[in-house]
Amino acid sequence: MSRIVCKKCVLDSDMPGIDINEESGLCHFCETYVPLSAKEKSDYLVKMEELFKEYGGRGKYDVVFALSGGKDSSYTLHKLKKEYPFLKVLAVQFDNGFISDNAVENAKKICELTGSDYFKLTMENEVLYETFRKAAESRDAFPRLAKYRASDICNTCISIIKQKLIEEAIVQDAPFIMFAFTPGQSPNPIISLQANFIRWSRNIFEKQLLNIGVEDKGEKFLIKNEVIENMGKEGPRMLHPLCLWDYNEGQILEALVEIGWNPPDLNDSNSTNCTLNSFACQNHLEKYGIHPYAFDIAGIVRSGDMSREEGLEKLHQELSQPLIEEAAKKLNYR
């Protein structure tokens, strides 16, 4: 059967697991999609503000913020502090060994502009390279649905970030953790974390690391068990405000440039901060035939925040060969 592209988003029948209904011309996800209504979004924002009032202002930090220095997280932090200037933010930038100098400069600049504290989370590059190489060499280490959300390399990297940010929030006694997930990336705008679930998700990631051949005995990547044992029953809340705000990539970039954020010189249509991304995408496509950004882009298009044409163009843009070669060399990947 010839390839059919969903009439509404960018998913197509050549992607494993995607069926297009011949009658409606829609993929299963578009057929069952129920967007958050304007009222639901506004209710979530009200709830978020209530949480700020109830739990904020107690300790050194209110928010531990995942700042990559890319466009989404830079924009989210700037808008957050503009709307809620009273929040005390610790912005954490994870140096995965592949963040561009430009992303570091941008992250520092946004922190300076917003009065947020900046913390660069670093690990030994050789350990990270070995871990990402193993992720690239692995097959089926993550559940099938995770393969549609991100590449094996990105799933490994983002899981490390989540684990270490939750740990940091518990240690700092900060009530909120914030990620700049788009509507296509986040399951829920507000997630309360309790010790039970934190422990469970730690164990799930520990198993995934073992699947790729990494035994994290020193808890470099995992939340330290000791931290979970000593936390109270109630943990921090994860907030994803970007999925409640209007999302328009062009406008976001425009707003950022206006405040002095430097557009990246990376030739990667899906990342404005990570030089490993093109390699990770190619590796995932070769292994599974799935573009790791297809679902993310489809979600943004489905929600009406990006045109279908723009989404298709983004999805089919050629990956940068120089970036792929540079990353393969660093990882010693053959």
Partner 1 sequence: MEHIKNDILDYLKDNSFMDTNIGLNDNDSLTQNGIMDSIGLLELMDYICEKYDIEVPEDMLTPENFDSLQGITNLIVKLVK
Q: How far is the CB of 332 from partner 1 (least distance, A)?
A: 28
143 near partner 1 (CB under 8 A)? yes
Instruction: Determine contact, residues 55/176, Cβ cutoff 8 Å.
Output: yes
Q: What three-state secondary structure class fits 94?
A: strand
Quick one: 142 or 261, whose CB is closer to partner 1? 142
Return the residues of window 231-290 that contact partner 1 according to CB under 8 A.
Answer: 233
Q: Closest Cα to residue 154, out of 270, 14, 265?
A: 270
Q: Which is nearer to partner 1, 192 or 317 (CB)?
A: 192
Report, in Å, the least distance between residue 129 CB and partner 1: 24
Stretch touching partner 1 by CB under 8 A, among 112-120, 204-212, 255-263, 318-326? 204-212
- 66/321 Cα distance (integer angstroms): 28
Query: Tell me, what amino acid is at 281?
Result: C
Query: In the window 60-119, what residues touch partner 1 (CB under 8 A)?
Result: none
Cα separation, 68 vs 254, in Å, equals: 18
| Pick 166 or 252: Cβ nearer partner 1 | 166
CB-based contact 319:282 (threshold 8 Å) = yes
Token output for 223: 């939340």
Stretch that binds partner 1, among 39-47, 112-120, 194-202, 304-312 (CB under 8 A): 194-202
Q: How far is the CB of 144 from partner 1 (least distance, A)?
A: 4
E-strand stretches of 12-104? 63-66, 89-95
Name the residue nearer to partner 1 (CB basis): 46 or 204.
Answer: 204
CA 331 from centroid of its chain's CA atoms: 22
Supply the minimum distance, in Å, between the C-beta of residue 56 and partner 1. Answer: 20
Q: Indicate which single residue of 65, 94, 132, 142 sits in contact with partner 1 (rule: CB under 8 A).
A: 142
- Between CA 305 and CA 184 the distance in angstroms is 10
Beta strand spans in 187-274 (E):
190-194, 234-239
Dump strand ranges (E) for 63-141: 63-66, 89-95, 117-122
- Amino acid present at 48: M
* Cβ atoms of residues 274 and 103 within 8 Å: yes
- Verify binding: residue 21, partner 1, rule CB under 8 A: no
Given strand 190-194, what is the order of strands in its sheet?
117-122, 89-95, 63-66, 176-178, 234-239, 190-194
Q: 204: Cβ–Cβ under 8 A, 6 or more apart, which residues? A: none
Binders of partner 1 in range 297-316 (CB under 8 A): none
Of 38-46, 55-63, 119-127, 138-146, which part binds partner 1 (CB under 8 A)?
Answer: 138-146
Nearer to partner 1, 210 or 257 (CB): 210
Cβ nearer to partner 1, comparing 174 with 193: 193
Smallest distance from partner 1 to CB 177, Å: 14
As measured in angstroms, the least distance from the Cβ of 328 to partner 1 is 27
* Residue 192 beta carbon to partner 1: minimum distance, rounded to whole angstroms: 5
Within 8 A by CB and 6+ apart from 158, the residues are 150
Under rule CB under 8 A, residue 171 binds partner 1: no
Beta carbon of residue 222, minimum distance to partner 1 (angstroms, whole number) = 13
Contacting residue, 38, 139, 187, 232, with partner 1 by CB under 8 A: 187
Pull the structure tokens for residue 320: 């940068």
90 pairs with which residues across the strands? 64, 117
User: Residue 205, interface with partner 1 (CB under 8 A)?
Assistant: yes
149 binds partner 1 (CB under 8 A): yes
Instruction: Note the residues at the interface with partner 1 (CB under 8 A).
Output: 16-17, 28, 32, 140, 142-149, 187-188, 191-194, 196-197, 200-201, 204-205, 207-208, 233
